[in-house]
Amino acid sequence: MRSVRRWSYEMFKNERAVRFVVMVTPEDLKANAEYIKMADHYVPVPGGSNNNNYANVELIVDIAIRTQVQAVWAGWGHASENPKLPELLHRAGVVFIGPPEKAMWALGDKIASSIVAQTAEIPTLPWSGSE
């Protein structure tokens, strides 16, 4: 968020030209997570397992629609590796800031992506599927 705020200031002379809506679990609130302070608005989500919140693609899309955001960046891990996210966001008319759904299907599986890389003769780290 800091880098986007900096870019926003450089481009628009307003660091808040781009507004951030974030998901927040009870655990995040209890920890007083820094990203909450940086956001313009937060939406409480269930705590516990990631399947209840950050990995829950349907919840993310629902929040995007309810808060009328124009775009979603999923960060890393959790839903960012799930090709259903860009697919469902596209259907909802929300931009996904990340790789296209087809690229995620092709490369989201770490084993499949290693095989694709090896087939293209791109150096990879040794693993049990190496020759």
pLDDT digits (tens, 9 = 90+) for 24-69: 999 999 999 999 999 999 999 999 999 999 999 999 999 999 999 9
Please give the model's pTM, rounded to 2 decimal places: 0.81
120 Cβ contact list (under 8 Å, min separation 6) = none
57-93 pLDDT, tens digit per residue, is 999 999 999 999 999 998 887 888 899 999 999 999 9
Tokens of 82: 């799930």
Q: Rounded CA gap, 83 and 111, in Å?
A: 16
Residue 111 has pLDDT above 80, yes or no: no
Fold (topology level) of 2-98: Rossmann fold (3.40.50)
State how far the alpha carbon of 43 is from the alpha carbons of 12, 27, 113, 115, in Å. 27, 13, 34, 39
Going from N- to C-terminal start, the domains of the chain cover: 2-98, 100-131
